[in-house]
Structure 1
């Protein structure tokens, strides 16, 4: 009988000593709710721009515990669900501006790790979008045409043989190489947290936010105290539905991953993968694979269930039926690794919005800011989003504050999801529809 450790693998790669929780009443310039990537990058860029700012972060657990530290570690230029949806809604030029901004973030995250000596296992080795069916080959061809329209003249759909030379999987029919990187997301989050602390930002761990009271100077109420600030930034990802304005703006969708024991030299030799590229299947409910620094294989994706009542409880990490499906997909890609033993099987929650693209903006006359809606593609986009929140907080009219992510004159907030049981039934129907469309496209 297979026995998995239902613990996030990344969390075992670095020990954590949580910081002190918030106690009593404090006053500051900016209070950020949420110590994941969005909140940390916002703090970093704000402190870099205005070193005198008194910035505090209140975090329910510790930085990297939530979605940021559970990500699969793909640092990609993906914005929302896909670039075609952005082109259809915002036009080619605005979609291109957003994609270029997120693409720059891939490189800048690497520079950040080097500048601040953050050992986050950053590997600038691109990723490979692959097709395993004729329908997916057509999707790659469409993506290539769109990439060329957006200025990526070197985009090329690789043949079956060329693709398998990069990653020796018998399931691959074609592939397209795209700029990107791989990272240990937990170590990155912990490294950003250390960096902003060194810059003078105060992080209150173990300080869940109970509510935000808007006003000229809004108040953040936690289990142990309260913060009054000139600006409050809401950066809680899939937990944005805890705040009334966002109650039904996101749907918490679970995603799952499995991590093996370190592969032996003999096992590694069976699958050509010299470039260590991230592998992503070209479909809506994607599957992806990568190698970790210590040569474990990660396989993730597959089912992306929504559990009734917005259930985000950790008990959903133990879902044997999900891991059976995920392991069957792994064997479809890598039958030569049938003897590989998986020791970690875990999940996390992504914040999905109706239009499948991130949203940033302000409320309460500009005193409350927000950023959310990455739909599972947030490592690079959160870095870009940190700059958006910086400029919104400082009242700057900039290239970042004018990106299509920002709600306002040219973009409305996402439509609300329906209440239960319609949301549960709709999520199940949407999953079936995406599978059907992927098979026919």
Structure 2
């Protein structure tokens, strides 16, 4: 059953993710969609997409000019996409490495981008506190584990590279890692303060509530069929406006003319039952730290506010034609692999139940380079291509779009991602073959490094493909 087919079910958010289960348990009304658009209308700004990018854009537009009439159109419920399903990392991560940014835009631009991303984590926490959005924001940083010799080499190199770009990345020995988290087989690691744990659906839901209280119209169950200069055509009516913002991320290929702008790649998650204090005494993560390791096929985790381990990773298949469907949220073999990986890292969780499995699509541009921009001649703005780093980056996008739309000349509007245009993905079936090959290559590289203790040449060949 597709996401579009599910929106008339007032309880459809239950089971979408652990995060939405918690929101609906606290506020049953959250499961009921807001009214759809009621025929043709007008607005100053129409934002297509009710995830973080769209919500933050609306928020900062009203901060800049409270008189603006802002309408958000969302095909499902605000925050029901990646914004309510992700790993809950509000981080300073940007999908393009600083070295790659420097090669494309110059070293000063790369430093400015890194500083803006670090500031973004603080900004999200500040707004959550000011607006009283209870999203379990905890500024605990990220600890990265290295469990093979090639992984030790990578984290050592990343710590040195971070210092060159103004990032605080502490290289840790096993004892230093254990001050944050105690996992099996750790040889080294890093810690950076520039990440906060959040409950992502609470952040999205709370932000949407703030917006509606301030007069922003959020039309849910309203699918945009076409964006054009000064207008958005939806299945519920046409909106004429001055500015259009496309904030559709993994769903972008559904829009005419955008089929190859990004590809939707699935990331899946599992969450345990609340774990007893004895288990947490063994594991750690007692200051809201987020967790990853230095393998090629990304994994990520957090200790939730109610003492679960929520753990996710890539590895789900790409579906030809850039298809996005609710059926793809559940891939039992991948969820089982994630659970095995979790137990491998933390044997103390082996006897504790997994209560939630879920997934969702994220948007990947061809050059792994997120972008934000506005074409004044057409009035069309856009942001996206976050490659899974969108919790923080979407906030920066919203602030930047608000400045661009209101004509403010600020440091944000001069950041190197502003106006960037990624090349189009190849047509099918070449696109499917490339993405599938990259996924298998990352899996193979990790296995080879565990087996041989040497860096994978395949992984090195993948680096340009991954924006490094």
- Taking the TM superposition and a 5 Å limit, the aligned residue runs for 1:185-204 are 185-204=200-219
Equivalent position of 1:20 in the other structure: 35
Whole-Å Cα distance in 2 between the matches of residues 337 and 27 of structure 1?
54
CA contact (8 A) 2:374 2:401 kept: no
Higher mean C-alpha displacement, 428-437 vs 71-80? 428-437
Residue 341 of structure 1: how far off its partner (Å): 0.7
Q: 1:182 and 1:414, CA in 2 relative to 1: closer, same or farther beyond 3 A?
A: same
- Taking the TM superposition and a 5 Å limit, the aligned residue runs for 1:134-149 are 134-149=149-164
**Quick one: which of 337, 344, 353 aligns to 2:365?**
353
1:289 aligns with 2:301: yes
**Quick one: which of 37, 48, 51 aligns to 2:52?**
37
Residue 367 of structure 1: how far off its partner (Å): 0.8
Equivalent position of 1:249 in the other structure: 261
Q: 1:358 and 1:200, CA in 2 relative to 1: closer, same or farther beyond 3 A?
A: same
Q: 1:225 and 1:387, CA in 2 relative to 1: closer, same or farther beyond 3 A?
A: same
Whole-Å Cα distance in 2 between the matches of residues 385 and 378 of structure 1?
9
Equivalent position of 1:176 in the other structure: 190
Residue 436 of structure 1: how far off its partner (Å): 5.3
SS in 2 for 1:79: coil
Structure 1's unaligned 5+ residue stretches are none
Residue 405 of structure 1: how far off its partner (Å): 1.2
1:325 aligns with 2:337: yes
Residue 276 of structure 1: how far off its partner (Å): 3.4
Whole-Å Cα distance in 2 between the matches of residues 157 and 321 of structure 1?
34
Deviation per CA, 1:99-140: give whole Å up to 9, x if none. 111111111111111111111111111111221211111111
Alignment TM-score, normalising by the size of structure 2: 0.88
Q: 1:400 and 1:366, CA in 2 relative to 1: closer, same or farther beyond 3 A?
A: farther
CA contact (8 A) 1:129 1:279 kept: yes
1:306 aligns with 2:325: no
Runs of 4+ aligned residues of structure 1 deviating over 4 Å after TM superposition are 435-438
1:71 aligns with 2:79: no
Equivalent position of 1:220 in the other structure: 232
CA RMSD of aligned residues (A): 1.8
SS in 1 for 2:372: strand
Whole-Å Cα distance in 2 between the matches of residues 305 and 403 of structure 1?
34
Residue 437 of structure 1: how far off its partner (Å): 5.5
- Taking the TM superposition and a 5 Å limit, the aligned residue runs for 1:333-412 are 333-363=345-375, 365-407=377-419, 411=420
Residue 282 of structure 1: how far off its partner (Å): 2.0
Deviation per CA, 1:178-234: give whole Å up to 9, x if none. 1210001100001111111222211111111111233xxx22121212211000111
CA contact (8 A) 1:32 1:39 kept: yes
Q: 1:336 and 1:81, CA in 2 relative to 1: closer, same or farther beyond 3 A?
A: farther
SS in 1 for 2:241: strand
Residue 428 of structure 1: how far off its partner (Å): 1.3
SS in 1 for 2:226: strand
**Quick one: which of 10, 23, 35 aligns to 2:19?**
10
Equivalent position of 2:249 in the other structure: 237
Structure 2's unaligned 5+ residue stretches are 1-13, 25-29, 450-454, 457-468
Equivalent position of 1:432 in the other structure: 440
CA contact (8 A) 1:59 1:206 kept: yes
Q: 1:391 and 1:364, CA in 2 relative to 1: closer, same or farther beyond 3 A?
A: closer
Equivalent position of 2:4 in the other structure: none
**Quick one: which of 412, 416, 429 aligns to 1:421?**
429
Residue 49 of structure 1: how far off its partner (Å): 0.4
Residue 321 of structure 1: how far off its partner (Å): 1.2
Q: 1:388 and 1:304, CA in 2 relative to 1: closer, same or farther beyond 3 A?
A: farther
Equivalent position of 2:169 in the other structure: 155
Q: 1:143 and 1:240, CA in 2 relative to 1: closer, same or farther beyond 3 A?
A: same
Residue 292 of structure 1: how far off its partner (Å): 0.8
Whole-Å Cα distance in 1 between the matches of residues 15 and 218 of structure 2?
28
Whole-Å Cα distance in 2 between the matches of residues 371 and 302 of structure 1?
23
Higher mean C-alpha displacement, 248-257 vs 364-373? 364-373
Residue 375 of structure 1: how far off its partner (Å): 0.4
**Quick one: which of 118, 121, 124 aligns to 1:109?**
124
State the aligned residue count: 429
Alignment TM-score, normalising by the size of structure 1: 0.93
Higher mean C-alpha displacement, 298-307 vs 431-440? 431-440
**Quick one: which of 82, 97, 121 aligns to 2:112?**
97
Residue 6 of structure 1: how far off its partner (Å): 5.6
